[in-house]
Chain A
Amino acid sequence: MNALKAVIRRELQEHKWGFVYLPWIVGAFMSLVVVMVYIGLTEVNTENFKFSTEVFSDSETVQGMNEATFEQRKAAIRAGLLVLGSPLVIALGFAILAYSLSTFFDERKDKSIVFWRSLPVSDSFTVLSKLSVALFVAPLLVIPALLFLHLVSVTAGSIYFAVSDIVPFTWAWQAYPWLDWIRVIFSLWMQALWSLPVIAWIMLTGAYSRKPVVAAILPPVVIVLVEGVSLSSSVFYDSLIDRLLPWSRSSSFPKEYENLQVAEISDVPLLLGMNEFWIGIGLGAIFVFLTIYFRSKSDYASVE
């Protein structure tokens, strides 16, 4: 247990920008945007999402808000917070990919692998600990920044509603889905497991290649091209993209759940019932096994 704690602490010390600071930077930026929108300094206007105080000048909207049931309020708040939080989740995705690429490459590059391997920590323990950092610890670290963003958003909204005499201050708070914290954590963990083959593949390239970026990208590109030219299909490409998108949106996910946004814990069995999920876990396990193998074969020769 001490060893696991020590390894995870070391990983977070080394990758504190990606895993500790980045969520807060993005979270603070989004919080600032939210506050500025309510003050009336800016607005967010994308194809799918409009966030502006203008909507509240429409009397129908205000009436709708006043008449909304508890469940409707909850759904609206949840949807809004999901969109506001998505930059954090996307940043987390990039941080995990960057970590996976560098974690086994950097220790070879700076030769510290010789020091790490001179201590009584086995290669399988190291690889599995690092994997658990990418899959489970990193998502957990996003939660405080996400919580902060939610609290700022709901507080700013409530103050605006109360001051502008739209709805009472408590309107949003009563319906704020506190239990979403657990939901978000589980969703992110399941998402990480869904993306395991990609994460483990990238880790593997860092463990053996001198040019991990090329080694990570080239083989998939070649497979996509060969499949496209010889079979005129894009099965590999589609499934690859699937792995990088939210698992509830994956094309292999049952269609009736297409609108599912953040998965409930009760949706987890759905994911566990998908063959694609287990194919991904199996493929990921092979890559992890190879990563352990290559790390155990690292001697001075491979770092020179």
Chain B
Amino acid sequence: MMEANSVITARNISKAYGDSSALSGFNLDVHSGQILGLIGPNGAGKSTFLQAVLGLVDTSGELEVLGLSPNKDRHELLNRVCSITDVAVMPRWMKVGQILDYVEGVHPRFDISKAKKILSNTNIKKSSRVRTLSRGMVVQLHLSIVMAIDAELLVLDEPTLGLDLSYRKEFYSQLIEDYFDGNKTIIISTHQVEEIEGVLSDVVFMDQGKEVMSGSIDELNQKFLELRPKAENLEKAKALNPIYIRTELGRPVYLYENVEAEKLRDFGEVHPPAIADLFLAVMKKNKEGEAK
């Protein structure tokens, strides 16, 4: 049985393309109000999983989205789920106004006046054809449409791939400030962790079709800490078994798992790790674990 506020329940999801397996026994629980980042290298299975959530690929295992089966109830699900994917999928021959009219005709939860209002703050004109827009503008158009749909779940699969930095920042700030209201749920896949750093409430690290680690940002910030040890404390800090060591501006930075902040503070400056650094550490640890 699904919990009351469960949005996605995935149990033992597997999918193989020929000999290579994209997902092998993947589990996930997403609850209402979460902004979950699905983080992993290329080929980790992020896209495949999100396609399964959207009912675009068949997988083995149990998958429920908003209490529905993505394959069997795809049509009903699409009333309640929106998505933006990494490929430019807007029909290039169409004018912006024509797309808005079409979505208004087919989507019961689309508010065309809201979409027009969002677009009025951009350089995108209603009379422009999609083929004349830049890559960034096409994504902006897609986001404007999606933001005007009152969906319960928004699936973003590498939505900012290939965009300029300014567009990427704009995309996420718009998403959080103007769209997310606490009742919605967003799942974002990316391999560029930095750009969604401040956006997420939860993360799942993925590699080779499996979950490597998951948790809320708060949990992770308690569990993992980074220390910039003073030169004289390097050996003592090392004795506390950091799981990962990196260098920043020529100085070592140690990452600890389940070590109390009080202990670390004696050796230097302590703060929660950036997700990107945590991700690298977890992946490295995972690889070592596999090697053993």
Contact = CB atoms under 8 A, between A and B. Distances in A.
**Which label, helix, strand, loop or mixed, suits the secondary structure of the A interface?**
helix
A247 to B, nearest CB: 34
A116 B98 CA distance: 13
Interface in B169-202: none
Contacts of B108: 120
B106 A3 contact: yes
B155 to A, nearest CB: 9
Contact of A121 (B76, B91, B106): B106
Given A6-B104, A114-B89, A299 B56 contact: yes
Interface string A47-67: 000000000000000000000
A7 B105 CA distance: 8
A249 interface: no
Given A118-B54, A118-B78, A299-B51, A111 B105 contact: no
Nearest to B94: A13
B280 interface: no
Interface in A102-150: 107, 110-122
Interface stretch (B79-87, B207-215, B264-272, B282-290): B79-87
A120 B75 contact: yes
Contact of A111 (B51, B87, B93): B87
A300 B87 CA distance: 9
Interface string B94-136: 1000100111111110000000000000000000000000000
B102 A114 contact: no
Contacts of A112: 89-92
Contacts of A13: 94, 98
B78 A119 contact: yes
Interface in A272-304: 299-301, 303
Interface of A: 2-3, 5-7, 9-10, 13-14, 107, 110-122, 299-301, 303
Interface of B: 17, 47, 51, 54, 56-57, 74-76, 78-79, 82-83, 85, 87-94, 98, 101-108, 142
